[in-house]
Chain A
């Protein structure tokens, strides 16, 4: 059994919508091991994004606890949560969210700059990541000059460049065609193996499920199915 990275203990998240209460997550308990490659699957409104929010320290549970390597996120201040995200979490979005005025190189550099590293010290690291995602010939291009698949590759490199323990990927293939989706998933799979960063997808995409080693299905805010596949790494 691999070392536990994330622990969710009886997590509930209730939103107030007008005068009604909406339960987005209801008594969810999970453990995610280091180097996991898994997905949260479920229809819209099932709680996938809420779960990513809580794990990413972007929101707090109404009840229950979210622990990162044993540290309870509930006890962290807003600034401490920002530090937690900055140091440990990489994000990949459906719409890439690259910074339009910066080049491929600079977009990948961006998280390292946020971590206070000097560009001259990390230039090699950034170039290495650009090469890993196969975009060396596009390194000085701006996002507007890239295709969707290339943009998502940049987003992957940006998420990985700071060597995070966890990557949260929200519908990373939703805007891509089949071929590009396949390439992106294979790339993420390879990088997961190489860099050992745990990857959690939130997805509707059936193609994703072919690559992941664990699938957590959510329905109405509850875990309805937690399926682990045989892989080289056992899940908790």
Chain B
């Protein structure tokens, strides 16, 4: 029987094409929009976590409390022991990366060795030279390199492209870092610019330099010390997993026998990305906004499909009457209408997913360059905004699409319940 009615459905353009188009367009918009929102949001999260926060972070509380001052004297010593503890008490899936966050004045000398230009910079010391380090890949440094090479030799640095332009520095040039060492003394160390990179975030491109971790330890007199340990989960790990591992590690911290070179008041804490830079609140708001967007689209689809169902009901008034007169029970009639709604919902959702997913995929692969808009902003947003195609995005489009189609049809078919058989002869004679 279902095949018989579906045959009619597919032939009757007025009752198929309109709801199909509504569902397809609605689902396409939701899938594309969710993909775009996820992409922008996850791009921000990735950018923040890759450079700054990690998914998890172990840091001395004293450093964290004053991190804007980059208090290197509150770094954590004993790298190996700390790494061993992290591996043992976190999870096999987490990759731990040591970092040194520092701040200094970057001085560019002229041919006579006098200052030609100078600016404060923020820097990160990270493992750029070990063969098993994932930092280059994590920060996409190879693809971000505009000129020159990645650091290979002693005291080489990568510089943000806009910073290099401001300072009028080119690859191969020597620059001097003027800062404060671990023990509070003054530091002046020469570096050679190995490469210029575009981080893809204007704020970084203007102010950031990267040096190898060992060079940073040498420059700032921080042998075997780091300011941060950043932990990275594999891509697409659920945020809840971050919290789970963080809580498990935090529970283990009191039992940790401090390594021998730690200061008495060193007190490490474990943070997830949610705990840093107000990201947790932003994440929660994002989920609410996303739910809102999906909800609004679903509601609008239900409204339109409800009306489409009513129009279809008028269009098929005779058919419904005939089916009731011929002995099709009301519930069965409504069930076949619901199945029609389901069928239209599925077909429309598939078409909409292909359309919206295709658009989101294009934005994921090619991206949308919004560098000009972000140039004046300090936001950690990629200049090239990319969507992200996820299974969740499809689910958030398809489920409301199917629901809207079935719900719209059912709401519209309520009139069938109220239709009295006693009037069928007159109604059918009226044509």
Q: Which residues of A contact B (CB under 8 A)?
A: 49, 52-53, 56-59, 78-79, 81-87, 89, 91, 93-95, 97, 99, 101-102, 106, 109-111, 113-114, 116, 119, 170-171
B327/A85 in contact, CB under 8 A: yes
Q: Which of B78-86, B369-377, B420-428 contacts A (4 or more CB under 8 A)?
A: B420-428
Q: Which residues of A contact B256 (CB under 8 A)?
A: none
Interface flag for B329 (CB, 8 Å): yes
**Distance in angstroms between the alpha carbons of A111 and B323 in the assembled complex:** 9
B422/A99 in contact, CB under 8 A: no
B326/A95 in contact, CB under 8 A: no
* Complex: chain B residue closest to A174, CB-CB: B429
5 further contact pairs, Cβ within 8 A, besides A86-B326, A91-B326: A87-B327, A94-B429, A95-B428, A95-B430, A114-B1
Q: Which residues of A contact B421 (CB under 8 A)?
A: 53, 57-59, 81
- Enumerate B294-328 residues with CB–CB distance to A below 8 Å: 318-319, 321-328
Give the distance to chain B from A127, nearest Cβ to Cβ, in Å: 17
**Distance in angstroms between the alpha carbons of A101 and B16 in the assembled complex:** 12
* Complex: chain A residue closest to B324, CB-CB: A82
A109/B4 in contact, CB under 8 A: yes
A101/B428 in contact, CB under 8 A: no
Nearest first, the 3 closest Cβ-Cβ pairs linking A and B are A86-B327, A85-B327, A59-B422
* Complex: chain A residue closest to B13, CB-CB: A101
Interface flag for B172 (CB, 8 Å): no
Most chain B CB neighbours (cut-off 10 Å) among A58, A95, A119: A58
Main secondary structure of the interface of A (DSSP, over half): helix
Interface flag for B184 (CB, 8 Å): no
- Enumerate B403-431 residues with CB–CB distance to A below 8 Å: 421-422, 424-426, 428-431
A58/B327 in contact, CB under 8 A: no
Give the distance to chain A from B417, nearest Cβ to Cβ, in Å: 11
A85/B431 in contact, CB under 8 A: no
A101/B12 in contact, CB under 8 A: yes
**Distance in angstroms between the alpha carbons of A94 and B426 in the assembled complex:** 10
Q: Which single member of B11, B321, B324 contacts A101 (CB below 8 Å)?
A: B11
A170/B330 in contact, CB under 8 A: no
Q: Which residues of B contact A106 (CB under 8 A)?
A: 4, 7
Given contacts A86-B326, A86-B328, A170-B429, contact A99 B8 (CB under 8 A): yes
A102/B8 in contact, CB under 8 A: yes
Q: What are 29 residue pairs bridging A and B, where the CB atoms are less than 8 Å apart in the complex?
A: A49-B425, A53-B421, A53-B425, A56-B325, A58-B422, A59-B421, A78-B329, A82-B327, A82-B328, A82-B330, A93-B428, A93-B429, A95-B428, A95-B429, A97-B318, A97-B321, A97-B428, A101-B11, A102-B7, A106-B7, A110-B326, A113-B1, A113-B4, A114-B323, A114-B326, A114-B328, A116-B1, A170-B429, A171-B429
* Complex: chain A residue closest to B2, CB-CB: A113
Q: Which single member of A78, A85, A170 contacts B326 (CB below 8 Å)?
A: A85
Q: Which residues of A contact B429 (CB under 8 A)?
A: 93-95, 170-171
* Complex: chain B residue closest to A99, CB-CB: B319
Give the distance to chain B from A53, nearest Cβ to Cβ, in Å: 6
Q: Which residues of B contact A91 (CB under 8 A)?
A: 325-326
Give the distance to chain A from B314, nearest Cβ to Cβ, in Å: 14
**Distance in angstroms between the alpha carbons of A116 and B326 in the assembled complex:** 13
